[in-house]
Structure 1
Amino acid sequence: MNTIEHGPQDQTVDEFKQELRRTIDHYIDHLVVRADVASTLDAQTVAGRMIASVPLQLHPFDEAAGPFYDSAGLEKWFDISRQAIDKRVRAGKLIAAQLDGGRRVYPAWQFTPEAQVHPALLPTWRILRAHGDPWTAILWLTTPNPTLDGDSAADWLTAGRDPKPVEAAARADSARWAA
């Protein structure tokens, strides 16, 4: 599966694993689980879902608009079928684009810590997709925009800022793409 976040550029694999262990141990030490819930959980399944979000390789577009998840990673992380993922994509409820070989990738920046698509992104995604292909829309969302104080639309929206200027800019650009 592919990535959720880029770490330091000079970080070694061993350094990453050590930091991951420290961080997970911290979260486990502060985890509060009721006994009735704990008795229903399987530690291997939970650990497998956690590890599904660890980057194994980078997609070619990671630097410009990523990082990205792949379908197999989302299936495991969300514990849903590929058909359920496809249904969300078709319904405009999941941001996705296809690579040259036909494989879909999903920008990691669209997901909240609760593994939900950030709801503020979807109206702008739909505006952009009306006249733009998925890659154009993804690049538009991740490119710094002077209208948004130099932030990207994705950063602006996921920070909880007013969506109106983003949607207005998206409508204007989408209209230009349609012309």
Structure 2
Amino acid sequence: MSPRTRTTTAVDALTEALRERIVARAEDLRASGRTLDLGDVDELADRMVAALPTVHPLDQPLGPFYDTSGLVAWLGISRQALFDRVRRGTVLACRTADGHLVYPSLQFGRNGAVRPGVVEAVGAFTRRGVDGWSVGAWLTTPTDVFEGHSAIDYLVVHRSSPTAVRRVAEAAASDAATWAA
């Protein structure tokens, strides 16, 4: 199956799943004497698509990225809550040349939580004042420390086991201690 066919199949499956859920919601509302008002359908579709990562010229090796509005929509939090997570070092953000923040999608699991091990690494570097691009490079650069894998790949290979998370966290803390802010 080609990548295009897989994508089309996934989009079709998502479209069908959304259709089923919307119809079920409309029926539930109708049963209680109410109607489903979707408002501006194009606006609703735009908000739904905002939860998907976007294409960005800097996608390799960190991307794809979420932008702030897309990540806020996906996580269902306020901009202020997201910026607080960035400030505390629990979400990795990279500032573009034009001042916008982008968020590498590789840090998130399917449920929107930052992957175990990544949050500890991001926190270690953030506390030292290391910029997001440098942290992203650290997370994605293969090294002997992780058996020839990057920190991200090492966590994936080891299914974010407590041992793998601890190893990544310790390596991040050690490296962050030697990096100047």
When normalised by structure 1's length, the TM-score is 0.72
Match of 2:176 in 1: 174
Counterparts of 1:56 and 1:175 in 2: how far apart (Å)? 33
Mind listing any 5+ residue stretches in structure 2 that lack a counterpart?
Answer: none
Structure possessing the higher relative contact order (Cα contacts under 8 Å, 6 or more residues apart): 1
> In structure 1, what is the Cα distance between the partners aligned to 2:37 and 2:110?
21
Report if aligned partners of 1:94, 1:117 keep a CA contact under 8 Å in 2. Answer: yes
Work out the CA distance in 1 between the residues paired with 2:166 and 2:110.
24
In the aligned structure 2, how far is the partner of 1:38 from the partner of 1:139?
A: 49
Q: Distance in 2 between matches of 1:150 and 1:37?
A: 54
1:57 to 55, 71, 77: 55
TM superposition shift of 1:29 = 8.8
Aligned mate of 2:97, from 89, 100, 110: 100
Please name the residue that 1:160 is paired with.
Answer: 160
Any stretches of 5+ residues in structure 1 without a counterpart? 1-6
Instruction: Call closer, same or farther: CA 1:122–1:56 in 2, change over 3 Å.
Output: closer
Q: Deviations over 1:113-151 (max 9, x none)?
A: 112222432111111223322211111011122221222
**SS where residue 64 of structure 1 aligns?**
coil
* C-alpha RMSD of the superposition: 3.5
Matches within 5 A, 1:20-59: 20-25=10-15, 27=17, 39=29, 48-58=46-56
Range that drifts further, 77-86 or 62-71: 77-86
Look up the match of 1:139: 137
TM-score (norm 2): 0.71
**Partner secondary structure for residue 116 of structure 1:** coil
Cα separation, partners in 2 of 1:119 and 1:36, compared to 1, 3 Å: farther
